[in-house]
């Protein structure tokens, strides 16, 4: 008996079914090649060959000569079938042992593990030698009832509706409060520039300047130390911090629990510190009944939250769009198949309805007019027109006669067909398309991976820099107080130098944090 080995070749450059037919036709003629099966979407050829006559590298070379790229795949485990079953009627460990030992003795079963607690069996098998129905039959013969683990066919895990809703809400809340904050900020800037112009033209003393300053509407003090501007900014900032930033806080706390620092941590850190610092500074100013209004950072959180929640919202909308397409694709898959047994001269002996996951390679499947093709296969009997528009985009029905290939998910129109299954389960064209789209969704763009990696270093780096700033100014202040006096204008003369230094140092370090945080926008 000649030994038959199996290898898988990765084939690139195939564009349509005629490429597949071309490769299959040419390689079948070669010496030592027993059979070849090419999957277009997976870009993979499964070749059974006689190792005494030909080697996998020679097979790849033959495919290359036809004008395609071909490399031999090392891990051949890809071709193993995997079966998840629910087994009922097991009572103790000896039942488990009985099932496992019987299955392992069965030709074609590569691996088997049965869990008594969950009633589940996990089986790996060689689709060439045995199929899921045979495995189920073996277990049934032992006296247990068994069925397939039902797969969730609805693409519910692909639904982004909830995330879209939550980020939209977060964005709208932030935006509503951000616009007035920006308005106030712009107004202040304009007034400041007018003041400095006036200051330049009339050489006023700084006392007159301060008098002019406090006469501005927004600088008017409601309470000593609390200006209209700061009060309004505070009122507008609170709802954003709570409602707009809610999801950021949740995600940041999760990240910190796992000892990682991501974008959310940075956003939360900067906004919280800006908010708390501004709040504390206001309280201190009110307690001291300060004449000069303190510099606050209430404008930072709303603006940051607006930009970032807008980004997140758009991202989920885009994801939702692809998911919709994917859900539609998944719904194209047939759920059941009619398997027939043929006698001599293709006489129908019997037919049975089975779950589509139980169809094995080489099974004869009957597809009635109006029915969906459950698996990829080759027509062996019958003539019909088939609507393949959902896979190929071809609007006109395609004629199918014996020898033609059919695609799972396409619709049979007028004649009854008998097909021989070539690709089943996860190998069908439709499953491969679904898999590709799912992978495209879950994989990150290279730039995004880079950004994530960067923010892992970025967050600790920024925190370190702001801490360094804090200590640097404290040291400078205590060494040479004049420098601090030069930069820290309008501080309360009644304060002790130590207090002034500390306050200035904190202000500087928080400025570093708040300015570095929008850099997360750059990353985003």
- Kind and range of the H or E run holding 454: helix 446-479
Q: Is residue 328 part of a domain?
A: no
Residues 94 and 45 in one domain: no
Per the CB < 8 A criterion, the answer to whether 224 and 290 are in contact is yes
Residue with tokens 């759920």: 335
Structure tokens at 425: 């389960």
Residues 143 and 200 in one domain: no
Residues 423 and 449 in one domain: no
Q: Mean pLDDT throughout 223-228?
A: 77
412 pLDDT tier (thresholds 50, 70, 90): very high
Residues 65 and 89 in one domain: no
- Going by their DSSP bridges, the two strands 226-227 and 336-342 should be labelled as unpaired
Looking at residue 451, its pLDDT comes to 67
Residues 430 and 509 in one domain: no
- In eight-state DSSP terms, residue 383 is -
Question: DSSP letter string over 54-117?
Answer: --HHHHHHHHHHTT-EEEEES-GGGG-EEEEEEEE---SHHHHHHHHHHHHHSTTEEEEEEETT
Please determine, for residue 5, whether its predicted confidence score (pLDDT) is greater than 70. yes
CB-based contacts of 140, cutoff 8 Å, min separation 6 = 146
Sign of CA pseudo-dihedral 121, 127, 132, 134 = negative
- Residue where a domain terminates, one of 414, 436, 458: 436
Structure tokens at 451: 């950004």
Per the CB < 8 A criterion, the answer to whether 298 and 492 are in contact is no
Structural Rg of the chain based on CA atoms: 36
Looking at residue 398, its pLDDT comes to 92
Looking at residue 59, its pLDDT comes to 92
Looking at residue 411, its pLDDT comes to 92
443 pLDDT tier (thresholds 50, 70, 90): low
Looking at residue 491, its pLDDT comes to 61
Please determine, for residue 192, whether its predicted confidence score (pLDDT) is greater than 80. no
Looking at residue 157, its pLDDT comes to 57
* Residue 316, CA distances (Å) to 163, 255, 322, 324, 325 in order: 7, 20, 10, 12, 14
Structure tokens at 477: 């202040």
Maximum pairwise Cα distance, the chain: 113
Q: Is residue 423 part of a domain?
A: yes
Choose among 53, 28, 52, 51: nearest CA to 38: 28
Q: Is residue 153 part of a domain?
A: no
Residues 429 and 451 in one domain: no
Q: What pLDDT digit, counting tens, does each position of 483-511 carry?
A: 877 777 656 566 677 777 887 888 788 77
Please determine, for residue 457, whether its predicted confidence score (pLDDT) is greater than 60. yes
Residues 85 and 66 in one domain: no
**Domain, as residue range, for 97:** 81-148
290 pLDDT tier (thresholds 50, 70, 90): confident
Q: Is 181 left (phi over 0), alpha (psi -120 to 50) or beta?
A: alpha
Q: Mean pLDDT throughout 252-280?
A: 78
- Residue where a domain terminates, one of 73, 90, 107: 73
94/144 Cα distance (integer angstroms) = 13
Listed as own residue / partner, the contacts of 66-69 with beta carbons closer than 8 Å and 24 or more positions apart are 66/22, 66/23, 66/26, 67/13, 68/11, 68/12, 68/13, 68/14, 68/19, 68/23, 69/11, 69/12, 69/13
- Across the beta sheet with 5-12, the strand order is 33-39, 44-49, 5-12, 69-73
Q: Is residue 307 part of a domain?
A: yes
Structure tokens at 511: 């400025």
Q: Mean pLDDT throughout 456-465?
A: 80
Q: Mean pLDDT throughout 514-518?
A: 66
**Mean per-residue pLDDT over the chain, rounded:** 81
Please determine, for residue 1, whether its predicted confidence score (pLDDT) is greater than 60. no
Choose among 359, 443, 433: nearest CA to 81: 359
CATH number of residue 66's parent domain? 3.30.70.100
Looking at residue 379, its pLDDT comes to 94
Residues 374 and 424 in one domain: yes
Residues 346 and 313 in one domain: no
Tell me the CA end-to-end span of the chain in Å, nearest whole number: 63
Q: Mean pLDDT throughout 409-424?
A: 91
| φ, ψ at 182 (rounded to 5°) | -65, -40
What is the CA angle 511-513-516, rounded to 5?
Answer: 105
Q: Is residue 523 part of a domain?
A: no
Q: Is residue 130 part of a domain?
A: yes
Choose among 231, 233, 225: nearest CA to 285: 225
- Select the more confidently predicted residue: 274 or 2: 274
Residues 92 and 48 in one domain: no
Per the CB < 8 A criterion, the answer to whether 255 and 265 are in contact is yes
Q: Is residue 190 part of a domain?
A: yes
- Residue where a domain terminates, one of 23, 43, 73: 73
CATH number of residue 359's parent domain? 2.70.150.10
The rounded percent of the chain whose pLDDT value lies above 90 is: 14
Residues 95 and 202 in one domain: no
Residue with tokens 């000593």: 224
Burial 16-39 (b: 16+ CB within 10 A, else e): ebebbebbeeebeeeeebeebbbb
Q: What pLDDT digit, counting tens, does each position of 64-105 carry?
A: 998 899 998 876 555 677 888 899 888 888 888 889 999 999
377 pLDDT tier (thresholds 50, 70, 90): very high
Question: DSSP letter string over 410-442?
Answer: -EE-SS-EEEEEEE-GGGSHHHHHHHHHHHHHH
Per the CB < 8 A criterion, the answer to whether 60 and 9 are in contact is yes
Question: 118-122, 130-134, 435-439: which range is least confident on average?
Answer: 435-439
Looking at residue 369, its pLDDT comes to 94
Q: Is residue 522 part of a domain?
A: no
Looking at residue 211, its pLDDT comes to 58
| Length of the chain in terms of residues written | 524
Query: How many other β-carbons are positioned within 10 Å of the β-carbon of residue 172?
Result: 15
Q: Mean pLDDT throughout 511-522?
A: 65
Total domains in the chain come to 4
Choose among 50, 60, 58: nearest CA to 12: 60
What interhelical angle do 161-201 and 206-215 show, nearest 10? 140
- Select the more confidently predicted residue: 56 or 15: 56
Residues 176 and 266 in one domain: yes
Q: Mean pLDDT throughout 131-137?
A: 88
Sign of CA pseudo-dihedral 240, 244, 247, 248 = negative
64/69 Cα distance (integer angstroms) = 6
Please determine, for residue 367, whether its predicted confidence score (pLDDT) is greater than 90. yes
420/406 Cα distance (integer angstroms) = 10
């Amino acid at each position: 008996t000649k030994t038959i080995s199996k290898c898988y070749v990765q084939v690139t450059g195939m564009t349509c079914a005629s490429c597949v037919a071309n490769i299959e036709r040419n390689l079948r003629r070669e010496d030592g090649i027993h059979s070849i099966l090419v999957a277009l979407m997976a870009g993979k050829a499964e070749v059974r060959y006689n190792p005494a006559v030909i080697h996998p590298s020679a097979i790849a070379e033959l495919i290359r000569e036809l004008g395609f790229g071909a490399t031999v795949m090392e891990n051949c485990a890809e071709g193993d079938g995997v079966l998840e079953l629910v087994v009922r009627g097991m009572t103790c460990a000896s039942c488990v042992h009985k099932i496992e030992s019987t299955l392992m003795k069965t030709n074609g079963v590569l691996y088997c593990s049965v869990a008594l607690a969950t009633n589940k069996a996990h089986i790996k098998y060689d689709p060439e030698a045995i199929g899921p129905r045979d495995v189920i039959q073996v277990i049934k013969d032992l006296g247990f009832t068994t069925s397939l683990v039902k797969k969730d066919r609805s693409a519910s895990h692909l639904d982004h509706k909830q995330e879209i809703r939550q980020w939209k809400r977060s964005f709208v809340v932030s935006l509503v409060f951000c616009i007035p904050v920006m308005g106030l900020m712009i107004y202040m800037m304009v007034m400041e520039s007018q003041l400095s112009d006036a200051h330049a033209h009339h050489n006023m003393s700084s006392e007159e300047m301060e008098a002019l300053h406090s006469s501005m509407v927004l600088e008017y003090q409601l309470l000593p130390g609390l200006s209209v501007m700061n009060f309004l900014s505070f009122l507008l900032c609170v709802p954003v911090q709570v409602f707009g930033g809610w999801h950021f806080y949740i995600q940041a706390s999760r990240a910190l629990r796992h000892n990682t620092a991501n974008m959310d941590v940075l956003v939360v850190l900067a906004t919280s510190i800006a908010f708390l610092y501004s709040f504390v500074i206001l309280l201190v100013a009110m307690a001291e009944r300060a004449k000069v209004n303190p510099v606050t950072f209430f404008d930072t959180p709303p603006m940051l939250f607006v930009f970032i929640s807008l980004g997140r919202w758009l991202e989920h909308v885009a994801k939702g769009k692809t998911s919709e397409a994917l859900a539609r694709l998944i719904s194209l898959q047939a759920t059941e198949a009619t398997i027939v047994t043929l006698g001599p001269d293709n006489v129908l002996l019997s037919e049975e309805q089975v779950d589509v996951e139980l169809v094995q390679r080489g099974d004869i499947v009957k597809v009635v007019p109006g029915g969906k093709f459950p698996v990829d296969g080759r027509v062996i009997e019958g003539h019909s027109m088939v609507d393949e528009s959902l896979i190929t985009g071809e609007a006109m029905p395609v004629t199918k006669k014996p020898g033609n290939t059919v695609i799972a998910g396409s619709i049979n129109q007028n004649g009854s067909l008998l097909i021989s299954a070539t690709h089943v389960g996860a190998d069908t064209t439709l499953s491969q398309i679904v898999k590709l789209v799912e992978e495209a969704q879950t994989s990150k763009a290279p730039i995004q991976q880079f950004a994530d990696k960067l923010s892992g270093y970025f967050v600790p780096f920024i925190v370190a820099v702001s801490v360094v700033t804090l200590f640097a100014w404290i040291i400078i202040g205590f060494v040479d107080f004049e420098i601090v006096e030069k930069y820290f204008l309008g501080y309360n003369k009644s304060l002790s130098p130590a207090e002034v230094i500390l306050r200035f140092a904190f202000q500087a370090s928080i400025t570093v944090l708040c300015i570095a945080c929008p850099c997360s926008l750059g990353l985003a």
